[in-house]
Amino acid sequence: MEKMNIKPDWVFSPQPMYIIGTKNENGTPNFCIITWLGFSFDKTPHLMMTIGGSKLTKTNILREKKFSANMITEDNLWIADYFGTTTGEAKEKNDLSYGYKWGEYVEVPVINECHWTYECKVNKVIELDGAHLFLAEIENIQIDKEYESMDMKKIDLTKLKPVIYAPYNYFSIGEKLGEMGEWQQHLK
């Protein structure tokens, strides 16, 4: 296969989307969308998240050192789109009807419409040039009861239906292609 080089840029970064929940200074919830998010492990599971620019969510995390990460799925995408295209710095985001509750282990707002949520406490903040990288320990994972029979060692994304963001577009997960270790069956 012939290759070509392109300039490194953020435009090709397909990744899952999360509604990040934080507590405002007045105790009300704040939500925004973050896609610069990944996972790590250091004795316990951690979530890594980068937030650039000026955002109320970043201000809240720097003050409170905690947040929720609510997985966006096909059925709650348009709530997420609202949170991602409005700013909490201008006014409270309440033009849309949605439900929330406070976390079970960490006092962070959790979106009722989301099926899979991480409650996180920030362990480390790395200040970058125009952004902050947060390393947070996952204190609790809330999942809908409908997934209680799912094998948590082999999570079926076709059942969870996470949304994937590739700049300015939303995509769904396709079909399951196989399992780890089946490589011999698929080589030509």
- 10: β partners: none
Q: Cβ–Cβ contacts within 10 Å for residue 43, how many?
A: 6
Is residue 35 over pLDDT 70?
Answer: yes
Asked if residues 143 and 154 have their Cβ atoms less than 8 Å apart, the reply is no
Asked if residues 161 and 83 have their Cβ atoms less than 8 Å apart, the reply is no
User: What is the total count of domains within the chain?
Assistant: 1
What is the Cα–Cα distance from 35 to 108, expressed in whole angstroms? 19
For residue 10, being part of any structural domain is answered with no
Query: What is the average per-residue pLDDT within 127-142?
Result: 96
Is residue 188 over pLDDT 80?
Answer: no
Query: What is the average per-residue pLDDT within 142-164?
Result: 91
For residue 5, being part of any structural domain is answered with no
Asked if residues 17 and 165 have their Cβ atoms less than 8 Å apart, the reply is yes
For residue 106, being part of any structural domain is answered with yes
pTM above the 0.75 mark?
yes
Q: What is the pLDDT of residues 45-92, one digit of tens each?
A: 999 999 999 899 999 999 999 999 999 999 999 888 888 887 766 666
Is residue 98 over pLDDT 90?
Answer: no
Q: Which domain holds residue 131?
A: 15-186
Q: How confident is the model at residue 86, as a pLDDT?
A: 77
For residue 102, being part of any structural domain is answered with yes
Give percent above pLDDT 90 in the chain. Answer: 63
**What tokens does 75 get?**
């059925």
Q: How confident is the model at residue 176, as a pLDDT?
A: 83
What is the Cα–Cα distance from 52 to 55, expressed in whole angstroms? 8
For residue 178, being part of any structural domain is answered with yes
Confidence tier at 167 by pLDDT (50, 70, 90): confident
Asked if residues 17 and 55 have their Cβ atoms less than 8 Å apart, the reply is no
What is the residue type of 46?
A: H
Domain CATH code at residue 139 = 2.30.110.10
Query: What is the average per-residue pLDDT within 92-114?
Result: 89
For the chain, the average pLDDT equals 90
Q: Helix or strand or coil: residue 45?
A: strand
